[in-house]
Amino acid sequence: MTDGWTQDQMDTCKYALSNMLGSVTYMYGNRMVFGNGKIVTLEPSELFTGVPDRPDHARGFMCDEGFHNHLISVWNLDLTEEIISSWFAQASDNGWICREQMLG
């Protein structure tokens, strides 16, 4: 056991890490974004992301990726680089990235 950590703390850490890693999801499909007052379907794309609430919000949230990958990067920096690169690949021609990605 790690010095200074109780068994309960270690169990909580293992639980948090396993749930975060279990939420990492690969998605592929048409992107749906809100533009010009309506939902617009864009070309198919792929996204590798952590999903914060799989049952109720099964999509990627860019604002959450920093929190997710703070934990993931300690465990595997290469995985974090793949996830962040996947988000950067979502950028439009003018550099805009939709903060919430829903692929369907």
Could you count the other beta carbons within 10 Å of the beta carbon of residue 1? 8
1 in a domain, yes or no? no
At 53-104, the pLDDT tens digits run 767 767 788 888 888 899 899 889 999 999 999 999 988 888 888 776 666 5
E-strand spans in the chain?
24-35, 38-50, 60-61, 100-101
Query: Measuring CA to CA, which residue among 73, 68, 49 is closest to residue 59?
Result: 49
Report residue 6's pLDDT band, with 50, 70 and 90 as the boundaries. very high
Q: Which domain holds residue 46?
A: 7-101
Q: What's the pTM? A: 0.77
Residue 2, in any domain of the structure = no
Count of CA atoms in the C-beta half-sphere (13 A) of 29: 11
The count of domains in the chain is 1
Tell me whether residue 97 is in a domain: yes
